[in-house]
Amino acid sequence: MVALQRLDSECSAVSLEVVVELVVLGAVCLLISGVAIRLGLVFADHFGIADRPGGHKQHHAVTPFVGGFGVISVVVAAFLLVESFFQSFSLRPLQGILLGALTLFLTGLADDIWHLSFKPRFVIQALAALSMVYSGGVELVSLGQLLPGLAAVELGSLAVPFTIFATIGLINAVNMIDGIDGLSGSVSLVSLALAAVVAHSAGNVACTVLLVALIGGVAGFLYYNLRYPGNGRARVFLGDNGSMLLGFLFAWLFIALSQGKSAAMTPVTALWLFALPLMDTVGVMLRRIWLGKSPFQPDRHHLHHLLVRAGFRVCDVVAFAVLSQVALGLVGIAGLWLGVPEWVMFAIFLLVFAGYFLVILRPWRLVPTLRRLGRALHLPSGDARGIFVGYFEQDKCLELLDVVCAGLTGSYDYQIQLYRVDDRRQGARRRNVYCVVLVPAGSGNDQLIGRIHSDTNAIRRRLTGDTAVEVRLFIQRSSANDRRVAYSRPGVKANQRRADRRGVGRTLIYSMERTRGRVYRDPVACATTVTPV
């Protein structure tokens, strides 16, 4: 008994030591990634490697493609640092990964500069997959038990073609999900973390070390790419140099962890760990084929595009994607650890994908549903340009202006405007004045929209006694966010109004602007009479 207790104590000490070393390795790789990307900015500025607005792209500023610099730097650093951290282990069996990683990084960099066609990219991706097989010894030889009552599907002579197919698929899945700030990096970080948990629990130290290094590298990239307070937009993009590299590393690690007698997981588990990018890519490509288009033709029908069109802020879209991938990944890990048959997990995955595909197949139905979901969750709309307060009597303008000004934090510039509705139709209402707080700088600024949403709630709480006055975010009308225009069903006219608005006009009766700490036309001084401006 004493010997068993001593052995258990020694194992715990070794395990704790390994965890500490992994944490330190991840922190060092995060720092390496951040420095490499910072140096990459100089390189990109000199050679003009940047993404410019236009076409189907949503960003409005020139942004460098240097995210891959951080990832490739930690791949190289992992092989240089591993023996310093883990003296009893070595990554030498995996050193063949460098050949494919460097090849795809340089190919992606060339694509970012010269915009290669998809054919040479596919050829090089296939060659990288071949290097994985013949140089690294990583090959997809079994798909697992996909049907009940049958043995595992062994690929035999089809192993190499399937490895090439899976590698190209994962590379392009990462590339396709790289559509908005922080999305591809955040989802990749979740998949890497879940895979690291599986690898560590199975005792696969080599893959665990590489995964932790990549977690640090992606985290360093997210420091520049993710939107957070103080960073209103992405300063760098992942680019093809980063997305192709990450996709190749995912393919290598997932195949290495799911094949062989000492496999850490089943092939079906790998599907769950990468479920969201995989379902989004396959679903969009199938939809394009269904519409008679090329599966490689870019469009704005990915899930993140639909969420943005529905009014979700970029940070909320990223949070939604991260939570979805965490949930899907945990389902896969739970099935693995609980010993659920592979064919059952595969059948559940197919059902989830079928549901997902049916949902995104008709975006003209999905987008309005997502709008209602956003309102139900009380999420601020990414299309918000201010605050609307109305309607009320004109003789209450002073009182309402005081409430509105008291509810505004003053942390941003705004313009307050009062309008009187001039309805010449019979039965015009007595409450015919409304207030709009315009925030011109709110476009695309997630943090600012969040503050506007908070101020909207503060004004609403101050007006709880007057239930007839509506307080909500002000959404500027445009074809991009008009439900009658955006994502209308094909063949159906979408520009018809629900009611006839002829005879309805409006008159600006008051305006006040606050900018750079100065207030023009003080509301207390001007609102006593509220005369037309």
Encode pLDDT of 418-477 as tens digits.
999 886 554 455 788 999 999 976 667 888 999 999 999 999 999 887 778 999 999 866
Confidence of residue 262 (pLDDT cuts 50, 70, 90): confident
Confidence at 6, pLDDT banded by 50, 70, 90: very low
Query: What is the predicted pLDDT for the residue at 344?
Result: 97
- Determine, yes or no, domain membership for 19: yes
What's the start-to-end Cα distance of the chain, in Å? 90
Distance between CA atoms of residues 125 and 103, nearest Å: 9
- Identify the band that residue 526 occupies on the pLDDT scale cut at 50, 70 and 90: very low
Residue 59 reports pLDDT greater than 70:
no
Whole-number Å distance between alpha carbons of 500 and 423: 12
pLDDT-derived band of residue 94, with 50, 70 and 90 as boundaries? low
Q: Do residues 367 and 417 share a domain?
A: no
Query: Residue 514 pLDDT more than 50?
Result: yes
Residue 532, domain member (yes or no): no
Residues 133 and 246 in one domain: yes
| Same structural domain, 472 and 333 | no
The pLDDT value recorded for residue 92 is 54
Q: Which of 83-97, 143-157, 239-253 has the highest mean pLDDT?
A: 239-253
pLDDT at 248: 96
Shared-domain flag, residues 353 and 460: no
406 and 267 together in one domain: no
Q: What is the CA radius of gyration of the chain?
A: 28
Overall number of domains in the chain: 2
Same domain, 360 and 396: no
What's the rounded Cα separation, in Å, for the pair 250 and 276?
14
pTM confidence score? 0.88
Residues 126 and 155 in one domain: yes
Assigned domain for 73 exists: yes
- 34 located within any domain: yes
Instruction: Judge if 364 and 505 occupy the same domain.
Output: no
Q: Is residue 531 part of a domain?
A: no
> Is residue 495 predicted with pLDDT exceeding 90?
no
Out of 354, 375, 396, pick the residue that ends a domain. Answer: 375
pLDDT band at 2 (very low <50, low <70, confident <90, very high): very low
Q: Which of 271, 264, 260, 274 is nearest to 176 (CA)?
A: 274
User: Which residue did the predictor score with more confidence, 490 or 364?
Assistant: 364
Q: Is residue 101 part of a domain?
A: yes
pLDDT at 287 over 60: yes
Domain end residue (candidates: 343, 375, 407): 375
Map residue 109 onto helix, strand or coil: helix
- Per-residue model confidence (pLDDT) at position 533: 43
| 252 CB-side CA count, 13 A | 35
My answer on whether 120 and 251 are in the same domain is yes
Query: Quick check: 10 pLDDT over 70?
Result: no
Q: How many residues does the chain have?
A: 533
Mean pLDDT (whole number) for 492-517: 64
Confidence of residue 258 (pLDDT cuts 50, 70, 90): very high
Percent of the chain with pLDDT over 90: 54
Residues 338 and 388 in one domain: no
Q: Is the pLDDT of residue 205 over 70?
A: yes
Q: Highest-confidence range of 331-340, 386-395, 521-530, by mean pLDDT?
A: 331-340
**pLDDT-based confidence at residue 71 (cuts at 50, 70, 90):** very high
Side-chain-side CA neighbours of residue 36 (13 Å): 26
Question: What pLDDT, on a 0 to 100 scale, did the predictor assign at position 52?
Answer: 73
In this structure, is residue 134 part of a structural domain? Answer: yes
Identity (one letter) of the amino acid at 21? Answer: E
Q: Which of 360, 375, 390 is the last residue of a domain?
A: 375
Whether residues 343 and 463 fall in one domain: no
Whether 463 maps to a domain, the answer reads yes
Same domain for 370 and 386? no
Residue range(s) defining the domain that contains residue 156: 2-375
Contacts 24+ apart (CB under 8 A), 343-349: 343/145, 343/146, 343/147, 343/148, 345/266, 345/268, 345/269, 345/272, 346/144, 346/146, 346/268, 346/271, 349/268, 349/271, 349/272, 349/275
pLDDT at 519: 55
In tens, the pLDDT along 23-37 reads 988 999 999 999 999
Cis peptide bond prior to 414, omega within 30° of 0: no
